[in-house]
Amino acid sequence: MNVWTYACLVVGLLLVVAPVGALVPDTIAISTDPEWVTAGSGESATVTVQVSNSTSGNTSFEGVAIDFEVDGEYGSISPARVGIDSAGRAAAVFKPGTRSGTATITATVSGEGLDEPLMGSVDLYIDHAAPYGVADILYTPRVTAGGTTDITVLMVDRYGNLVDSKREDFLNITPETVSFTVGSPGGGATFVGGTDEITVPVDDTGNATVTLEVSTLAGENIVYIQPPKPIRGQYITVRGVADGVPAGITCTVNPSIASVQANGKDTITLMYELTDEYGNPAAGQGLWVNASGLQGQSKCFNSSSRGEVWVTYGPEESVGVVTITATAVANASVTDTTQVEFTSTEPVKMVISASPQTMASRDCNPNVVSELRAKVMDIKGNPVDGEEVTFTIDTGSINLGGSDSTGDPYLGEVEGQNVTTAVTINGSAIVKFHPGSFAKPEMGKKASAKGNVTVWATWDDVSKPIELTWVNYPYLSVETEVSNAKVSVNSTDEHMTNTTYVTIRLKGDGYAMQPDPIDVVLCTDRSGSMLYDNPDRMHSVREAAKLFVDNMSERDSVGLVTFGRNTGSRNQINVPGEKSFGRNARDYINNNYITPKKYLDYATVDQPLTNVLSSVKVELDNIVPDYGTPMRGGIYKTINELSVNGSSDAVKAVILLSDGDYNWYGDPLARGNGYSSSDYGPTAYGDLSQSYYKFSGLSNAEQNLSVYARHKNVTIYSIGYADSISSGGRATLKKLAESTGGKYYNGSAANIGAVYTAIAGELKTEAGVDTNMTVFENVEINGTPIAAFEVFDYKHEPGKSTTIKGWVNNETGDFPDIPPFTTIDQTDAWKQDKQLHFDIGTIRLGQTWETTFCLAVNASYRAGEENNINIFGPGSTISFNGTEDGTEELDLPDTYITVFPDLTNTGITSSSLAVRFTGPGTGSGPYTDLVPLNWTTAYKGTEEVDISLAYSRYEDMRSPTTFFTKTLPPGSFVTADNTTTDSTMMPVKDLSPGQYWITVTASARDAETDEDTINVWAHTKGAPRAYIKIG
């Protein structure tokens, strides 16, 4: 029984005394009996109201009546108005309608003495009537074999109310149930739990749901559904589709030897078959096919209804082995790797090249060699193996100058050998060329010797020369390469065989190219805060500075300037930090310092510039921190030391380190007002003061010590040590460094060693040669120079052409981004003068500079059969200076590309299949007899194509009926666009009125299945879809 009680609190005098006139009802309780009734039945429920006064407990009131209300959609209540009896009760009868749900009944109490009505309500539950029919069956009609789908049955009573379990759940009894039975290919289908029969109840939303595990064999899984009587049972079909995740792959190659000639005509076909874990064909699955070598490509194809992917590779005009890897998209462990080969035809031509063509003489570098390479090719430019090539030094062509020769050039491994042979492997016969050697130059004289010689390569009756050069002075070596040694005039955008990427690599590896000497002064803070931390900061800094000193060479000079307290001649530092921390500072210090210590100025040159580097390390150990940060004074004294005592040809640098904000002497950058010594002494300036002590002898601009440093060719590297520096202090250190071309570093005990090492590397890599390069004034075609722009065009591609990058690898370590990677567009420069210019700048010792750019063969170029192009013909030079001999020019080595009229290569291809309705339009009708259907099929392949048409009452094509099939032979697709048209009639005369979905499906063994769907109306248009009702 439902009971609802409502109480009103009466405030005021009623809490003290209850006069008779104030005894009015203030509480209402409502109940129903029974709590549930059935929709459309003759059942009824009594609704009872009890009113009372909560203070006195009185239930007898005169002139009080109850008004009942209920939503008429759920039923009616009678009488609508009832007076209460002497016990304060009133009752009415509720009769349900045909709708299930919750009927809320409201009772309103009115009468004398009530200032406002007293209201209450109660919910009466209305259950559905007996099951009468099936409203819907929800399921997925096509499921991957071995997969699952939920099947949900929705039932209604004769009034359209859903049959649910709300009343049964309330009463804790069993609700209505639905039984399911399944049969399938091989008997493998079951419901969850492993049974082929199951009975499930409806839930509180009306769903009777089971989970079907379809058979692992592809095919129809037939489910019989039996609702409660008198509803008749029915069948549904869930098709197990062979489109599961691939678990296996096989590959068949045609021809079976997986090899054809690179003749521009023959192709190789690979037939892949994908299967799922149960052995079913894995239809509609993606397969990545990647080809490496020759025409490297990566494409994704989808498998056919048989789980097959057919791929064609070729034709090729380049010889080589192609590795083709196929990997299932949905399962990367399913993969196949197959190698196919394209072989060469008869050899007809040869070219010769050397890398490098210019090199150091053997006296400078006994290990230097050049690689001579003679490439033998067939008519297509493909390398031919097994051909013998003879290399000969033309001793009569040897030309020497600048110094006496101490050794002649030779070939192979035996000194003195002028003739040797090699057999082509991968098309190239390779031998080593060892350059000649010179007598070392006399003391004080420059190395300036140069030699060259012609080497001949002879194959069959073909001979080709190449000139090689060796020198004993500084030089740059150059390497070149191309991404595609074969290009064509006419090609498709897809394969880009008319382009090649050219890489030029310069290296500062001249044996005599040494960095400039370095003059560097360590300008180090000795304030009291340098005693913080454990180990203290001064200890960490001086040990790292010693490692820096060890990185310098005997050609370098190092000095030491420190700044802090000026003790004067009468005082001394007895305990480190005594002015900062007091006499008890000794308890704080945990490192050894040599005391007593005098400093006769705020900034002192503790060690003048010297190449006796051990003395600098001794003075580092003699530093004693105490008080004050006169950074401005320290920098000024450091620059002066470099200016007065430094070498004219040396790189000059300051390494400034401080762990606090500057104070004495004021702002190193001379911001604010400047004052002379007569105005204020050095110690008159506080932390980060925006004024400064003016140094005599400096211009107003040079009072900014970064300007003074630049004027003296001094670079400042600054280190802000520890976290005690303010943001303003760090900003000052950063500006001091960057304004002079240096760098700022954040230092700590953990990284201070690495910071000093990095600065050492920066200083050592500054020396080098200033370099620029011009390429493509001319190319050489079969030995004849012609303007490069007649053959090639420059092509800009963001991120790919033109790229510039570099790196340094020398005794100071590896530096990966000098210069950093960048991309430039040289299109305008090419259009202007048909050349590419590179202002490379300084190439440092051990630095490699590299550029890559794209060339495309002009479509207007007329290529013949003999088109071996040396892309770096006359006019392609590198010039560099900065060596003792001034400016030098270096020719780029011969680099060959073979150009053909057309390079017939389609790379990876596969069959394709598409089918589309051309009429009638979707949503057309209504049709009463026949529906005219027209469609087109497009197919590029070599197999039969199966066409089928089916219709269904459902958009998801549940329970389809196939009404047309046809097989098209390969010869059906003979039009230019590989299409064919077809038509049929679909009879609808005997079909129920309503909407129908029609699908046309096309499938072939070597292509992915395709389909198209339209919908039409039969007999009527716009009618709602009929529910399945059985009763």
CATH number, domain with residue 731? 3.40.50.410
Cα–Cα distances (Å) from 366 to 353, 407, 435, 437, 511, in that order, read 22, 11, 9, 9, 11
Last residue of a domain, one of 871, 902, 933: 902
Please enumerate, as own/partner, the contacts of 1022-1026 that have beta carbons within 8 Å and a separation of 24 or more.
1023/993, 1023/994, 1023/995, 1025/953, 1025/994, 1025/995, 1026/953, 1026/992, 1026/994
Q: What angle (nearest 5°) sits at the alpha carbon of residue 75, between those of residues 69 and 77?
A: 45
At 782 the pLDDT is: 67
Q: Please check whether residue 855 is in contact with residue 500, taking contact to mean a CB–CB distance below 8 angstroms.
A: yes
| Residue 1026 included in any domain | no
Q: How many CB atoms lie within 10 A of CB 547?
A: 15
Residues 6+ apart with CB under 8 A from 191: 180, 182, 197, 198, 210, 211, 212, 213
Q: Please check whether residue 478 is in contact with residue 890, taking contact to mean a CB–CB distance below 8 angstroms.
A: yes
At 515 the pLDDT is: 55
| Residue 73 included in any domain | yes
By residue range, what is the domain housing residue 915?
A: 911-1018
672, 548: one domain: yes
Counted domains in the chain: 7
Kindly give the pairing relationship between strand 462-471 and strand 358-360. Answer: parallel
Distance of CA 459 to the CA centre of its chain: 50
CATH number, domain with residue 935? 2.60.40.3880
Residues 6+ apart with CB under 8 A from 576: 531, 585, 589, 593, 595, 624, 625, 626
State the Cα–Cα distance between residues 869 and 188, nearest whole angstrom: 68
Residues 6+ apart with CB under 8 A from 892: 478, 480, 504, 775, 872, 876, 877, 878
258, 383: one domain: no
Last residue of a domain, one of 764, 796, 817: 764
At 516 the pLDDT is: 64
**Nearest Cα to Cα of residue 637 among 707, 709, 689:** 709
Distance of CA 1000 to the CA centre of its chain: 40
At 11 the pLDDT is: 37
DSSP 579-632: HHH-GGGGGT--S----SB--SSSEEEEEEEES-HHHHHHHHHT----S---HH
Cα–Cα distances (Å) from 963 to 79, 960, 1015, 1018, in that order, read 64, 10, 15, 16
CATH number, domain with residue 410? 2.60.40.10
With H, G, I as helix, E, B as strand and everything else as coil, classify residue 454: strand
| Residue percentage of the chain with pLDDT more than 90 | 48
**Nearest Cα to Cα of residue 139 among 150, 127, 155, 126:** 150
State the Cα–Cα distance between residues 467 and 454, nearest whole angstrom: 4
Q: Please check whether residue 194 is in contact with residue 203, taking contact to mean a CB–CB distance below 8 angstroms.
A: no
Write the pLDDT tens digit of every residue in 484-523: 877 776 554 444 477 889 998 887 765 444 456 788 999 9
Beta strands in 158-296 (DSSP E): 177-183, 190-191, 197-201, 207-213, 219-226, 234-241, 248-254, 259-261, 268-275, 286-292
Last residue of a domain, one of 764, 785, 806: 764
610, 741: one domain: yes
Residue 430 DSSP label: E
319, 401: one domain: no
Cα–Cα distances (Å) from 835 to 502, 631, 796, 832, 982, in that order, read 14, 52, 14, 8, 59
Structure tokens at 276: 């799922």
- In DSSP terms, which residues pair with 78 in a beta bridge? 93
State the Cα–Cα distance between residues 860 and 869, nearest whole angstrom: 16
554, 702: one domain: yes
Q: Please check whether residue 434 is in contact with residue 411, taking contact to mean a CB–CB distance below 8 angstroms.
A: yes
Cα–Cα distances (Å) from 970 to 266, 310, 945, 1000, in that order, read 21, 15, 7, 19
| DSSP H/E element including 1017 | strand 1007-1018
| Residue 647 included in any domain | yes
778, 854: one domain: yes
Q: Is the pTM of this model over 0.75?
A: no
| Residue 703 included in any domain | yes
At 269 the pLDDT is: 92
Beta strands in 776-929 (DSSP E): 778-781, 784-787, 792-795, 803-810, 813-815, 822-823, 836-844, 847-857, 868-870, 877-883, 886-891, 896-902, 908-910, 912-919, 924-927
State the Cα–Cα distance between residues 205 and 963, nearest whole angstrom: 38
786, 809: one domain: yes
What size, in residues, is the chain? 1031
438, 544: one domain: no
| Residue 1027 included in any domain | no
Kindly give the pairing relationship between strand 673-675 and strand 234-241. Answer: unpaired
795, 753: one domain: no
559, 662: one domain: yes
| Residue 83 included in any domain | yes
| Residue 494 included in any domain | no
| Residue 718 included in any domain | yes
598, 702: one domain: yes
* Weakly modelled stretches of the chain, pLDDT under 50: 1, 3-22, 294, 443-444, 492-496, 511-514, 585, 765-768, 882-884, 903-904, 1023-1031
Structure tokens at 521: 């002064």
866, 992: one domain: no
Kindly give the pairing relationship between strand 405-407 and strand 477-482. Answer: unpaired
